Amino acid sequence: MEFLRFLSQYRLPPLDVLFQFITVLAQETVIVAVICWLYWCTDKRLAYTLGFSFFASGLCVQGLKITFRIPRPWVLDPDFKPVASALSGATGYSFPSGHTQSATSLLSTLCFSTHRKRLRILCIAGFLAVGFSRMYLGVHTPKDVCVSMAVTLVLSALSYALFGRIADDHSKDLIVSIILTAVSAGLLVYAQSLHSSGVIELEYAMDCFKSGGAGLAFAVGFYLERRFVNFSLTRGFKTRILRFAAGMAVTLVLQIGLRFLFPGTLFFGALRYFLLVFWILVLYPCIFMRLFSQKLS
Distance from C-alpha of 43 to C-alpha of 233, rounded to nearest angstrom: 8
| Helix locations, 197-236, DSSP H | 202-224
Confidence at residue 297, expressed as pLDDT on a 0 to 100 scale:
39
Element of type H or E holding 16: helix 13-24
Q: What is the rounded average pLDDT of the residues 231-256?
A: 89
Residue 296, pLDDT above cutoff 50:
no
Confidence at residue 293, expressed as pLDDT on a 0 to 100 scale:
54
Residue 264, pLDDT above cutoff 80:
yes
What band does 292 get if pLDDT is binned at 50, 70 and 90?
Answer: low
**The whole model's pTM is what?**
0.92
**Predicted confidence (pLDDT) per residue in 92-137, tens digit:** 899 999 999 999 999 999 999 988 999 999 999 999 999 999 999 9
Confidence at residue 280, expressed as pLDDT on a 0 to 100 scale:
96
Confidence at residue 47, expressed as pLDDT on a 0 to 100 scale:
94
**Do 49 and 161 meet the contact criterion of CB atoms below 8 Å apart?**
no
Q: What is the rounded average pLDDT of the residues 155-160?
A: 94
Q: How many CA atoms lie within 13 A of 33 on its CB side?
A: 12
**What does pLDDT average to over the chain?**
91
Question: Of 95, 201, 203, nearest to 143 (Cα)?
Answer: 95
Domain range annotation of the chain: 2-296
Confidence at residue 170, expressed as pLDDT on a 0 to 100 scale:
80
**Predicted confidence (pLDDT) per residue in 43-52, tens digit:** 999 999 999 9
**Do 156 and 102 meet the contact criterion of CB atoms below 8 Å apart?**
no
* Amino acid identity, position 169: D
Q: What is the rounded average pLDDT of the residues 291-296?
A: 55
Stretch among 54-63, 70-79, 201-210 having the lowest mean pLDDT? 70-79
Question: Of 285, 10, 278, nearest to 136 (Cα)?
Answer: 10
Who's near 73: CB < 8 A, 6+ residues apart?
A: 1, 4, 80, 82, 94, 138, 139, 140, 141
**Predicted confidence (pLDDT) per residue in 198-230, tens digit:** 999 999 999 999 999 999 999 999 999 999 998
